A and B are shown apart, each in its own frame.
Chain A
Amino acid sequence: MALMPEAVGKALTIAAVGLPVMFSVIGLFMLLAKVLLVLFPHEADAATKDH
């Protein structure tokens, strides 16, 4: 580990932190999409469109 160049250590940090953060954000967006489908079903829009 001591022989590892500093930049490689930083790159490993970016990967170690970045991968879980990226998948968490995407997971959040997946959840958001599901919530939006429940909160705003298509029928509700069709009903309001008539007014």
Chain B
Amino acid sequence: MSATLTNLVAGISALSWQHLVMWLIGSTLIYLGVKKNYEPLLLIPIGFGTLMANIPLSGAIGEGGPLTTLLQVGVLTELFPILIFVGVGAMCDFGPLLRNPEVMLLGASAQIGIFGTIIASTLLGFPIAQAAAIGILGTADGPTTIYVASLFAPEILAPLALAAYSYMALTPLIMPPIIRALTTSAERRIRMVYQGGPEISRSARLVFPLCVIAVAGLIAPVAAPLVGFLMLGNFLRECGVTDRLSQSAQNELINVVTLLLGLAIGGSMTAENFLTWESLGVMALGLAAMIFATAGGIIIAKLLNAVRSQKINPMVGAAGISAFPMAGRVVAKMAFAEDKQNYLLMHAMAVNISGQLCSIVAGVVVIAITKAILGS
């Protein structure tokens, strides 16, 4: 009888202040998702996963626990982020890139922050494998961040995933002050004529993803799944004979996997894993990565203006971060606020889409070099 009673109160007696802090964090994530609409599809499952994982003696985690199983099967194997890429590829229209390939240069420029963050992370004492994963936060690309974290630093996966999705959701708050600090009002008022460019043939749209797989795969075979699944999704979208698969990838697949991914990440956010100085460092470096990335895009756009006759509005460079479509919208909104006749949306969105591709290229490059350095 007394043993039964002891078992019944075991959970309550094992409760610590750390659990309560994690409940607060989980509840805050749910609140931000519901009330502020900050990445609700991910923050709500992460919040619930966090709550379940931080109930003392929780059956949701540990040997045979569903959240731990999801983490082991879907995240540590890199399966979930890869499957999300099929959906992302199916959502991406690479037409603006093919029509105006120069925008890729701006997309690439916004990835410079990754390398600055890797260096900053090592200066703060993070080992190189963790620093590489932290640097990828500069892509503002959740699935790529999780993919690289699973490869190199699964022990800091939870704070990395949380930082990636939180800062992506906070793009409208993070980007404007950096843009204002690095551009003059006259620069923000630069108008860009949208010329549209040539129509893109179906053949070109079909050959492009195949060539991207070949090129990126040859450069970094280890990252072939990352590019391959993204381009598979894009091919399903463009080929015209797999509409059902394309729609499923854009809706059911990405929704289900996002739910499972969120729960798995939430499940890994136990007090002992998450309430560390390391997590705080990751969150701070994630913010720095976003700042570096935004600044990189703007600075390169300004440098390009020095050699171009047709000026680029430097704000468009900031849209090269992968947070889609928030980054593009923020830039267009800021341009409109400066000059009610300045419509930058098409330019900003083209650069924003190029950022999607460039962030993956940057991820592939970092994976390849880090693997070589680590000798694995």
What are some 5 contacts across the A-B interface (CB < 8 A)? A7-B131, A10-B373, A11-B131, A34-B101, A36-B211
**B371 CB to nearest A CB, Å:** 11
Please report the C-alpha to C-alpha distance between residue A40 and residue B358 in the assembled complex, in whole angstroms. Answer: 24
**In the complex, A51 has a CB within 8 A of chain B:** no
Does A14 belong to the interface (CB within 8 Å)? yes
Q: Which residues of A contact B216 (CB under 8 A)?
A: 25
* CB-CB under 8 A for A26 and B373, given A45-B201, A45-B203: no
| In contact, A44 and B198 (Cβ under 8 angstroms) | no
Indicate if B121 sits at the interface (CB-CB under 8 A).
yes
Partner of A19, one of B112, B125, B201, B364: B112
Given contacts A5-B125, A11-B128, A29-B97, 17 further A-B contacts (CB under 8 A): A7-B122, A12-B119, A17-B369, A18-B366, A21-B219, A25-B215, A26-B107, A26-B358, A26-B361, A29-B215, A30-B102, A32-B212, A33-B98, A33-B208, A36-B204, A37-B198, A44-B203
A29 to B104, CA, bound (A): 8
The minimal Cβ–Cβ distance linking A5 to chain B, given in whole angstroms, is: 7
- B119 & A11 in contact (Cβ 8 Å cutoff): yes
- Cβ of B132 under 8 Å from chain A: yes
- A-B pairs, 6 with minimum CB distance: A15-B115, A40-B203, A33-B101, A42-B199, A30-B101, A7-B122
Q: Does A39 contact B (CB under 8 A)?
A: yes
In contact, B105 and A14 (Cβ under 8 angstroms) = no
- With an 8 A cutoff between CB atoms, is A1 at the interface? no
User: Is the Cβ of A32 less than 8 Å from the Cβ of B215?
Assistant: yes
Which residues of B are interface residues toward A (Cβ below 8 A)?
Answer: 97-98, 101-102, 104-105, 107-108, 111-112, 114-116, 118-119, 121-123, 125-128, 131-132, 198-204, 207-208, 211-212, 215-216, 219, 357-358, 361-362, 364-366, 369-370, 373
- On whether the beta carbons of A26 and B108 are closer than 8 Å, the reply is yes
Q: Are B97 and A33 in contact (CB under 8 A)?
A: yes
Contact B362 A22 (CB under 8 A): yes
Chain B positions within 8 Å of A15 at CB level: 115-116, 118-119
Shortest CB-to-CB span from A2 to chain B, Å, is 16
What is the minimal beta-carbon distance from A50 to any residue of chain B, in angstroms?
Answer: 14
Verify B104–A18 contact, CB threshold 8 A.
no
Distance to closest chain A CB from B227 (angstroms): 10
User: In the complex, what residue of chain B is closest to A25 when comparing beta carbons?
Assistant: B361
A40 CA / B98 CA spacing, docked (Å):
11
B73 to nearest A CB, angstroms?
30
Cα distance A10–B135 in the bound complex, in angstroms: 13
- Determine whether the beta carbon of B101 is less than 8 Å from that of A11: no
For B368, the closest partner residue in chain A by CB is: A21
A10-B198 Cα distance, complex, nearest whole Å: 44
In the complex the two chains form, is B207's CB within 8 Å of A40's CB?
yes
In the complex, are the beta carbons of B212 and A29 less than 8 A apart? Answer: yes
A51 to chain B, nearest CB (A): 14
A11-B101 Cα distance, complex, nearest whole Å? 30
